[in-house]
């Protein structure tokens, strides 16, 4: 289901980029369509890679430090380890694989098609 959602949303964003950036002009040999899908594919790949690698945990530690600096009266935990142990949002989950795969497929298809046409 996540894969289908990633494909449908990527098609939607490709269409938006094709419409607003390229004014729905295909150009010679569909180059504008390839450019729009390539850019969306690059964005999807890197967003998927970031979420797959759990890079969001960096922001969790930043939030803990900022809370301790600016609201010291609300400190519930003495250490960051205690904060992670008692915080319900720290569940491990795997997300981003479908987004990364859709981005990779878009980039791969665009490279193959561009090498065949140009």
Question: Is the separation of the CB atoms in 99 and 48 below 8 Å?
Answer: yes
Alpha helices in 21-96 (DSSP H): 31-52, 57-70, 80-86
Question: Is the separation of the CB atoms in 41 and 103 below 8 Å?
Answer: yes
Q: Where exactly are the structural domains of the chain? A: 2-23+30-117
Per-residue pLDDT reduced to its tens digit, 42-100: 999 999 998 888 776 777 778 778 888 888 777 777 787 887 777 766 555 667 889 99
pLDDT at 29: 66
| Burial class (CB within 10 angstroms; exposed 0-12, middle 13-18, buried 19+) of 67 | middle
| pTM for the whole structure | 0.69
Per-residue pLDDT reduced to its tens digit, 26-45: 777 678 888 889 999 999 99
């Amino acid at each position: 289901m996540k894969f289908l959602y990633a494909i449908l949303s990527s098609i939607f964003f490709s269409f938006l980029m094709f419409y607003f950036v390229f004014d729905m002009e295909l150009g010679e040999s569909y180059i504008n369509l390839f450019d729009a899908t390539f850019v969306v594919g690059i964005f999807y790949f890197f967003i998927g890679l970031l979420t797959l690698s759990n890079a969001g945990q960096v922001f969790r530690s930043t939030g803990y430090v900022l809370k301790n600096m600016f609201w010291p009266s609300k400190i519930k935990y003495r250490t960051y380890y205690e904060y992670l142990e008692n915080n319900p949002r720290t569940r491990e989950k795997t997300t981003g694989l479908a987004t990364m795969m859709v981005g990779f497929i878009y980039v791969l298809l665009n490279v193959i098609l561009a090498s065949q046409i140009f």
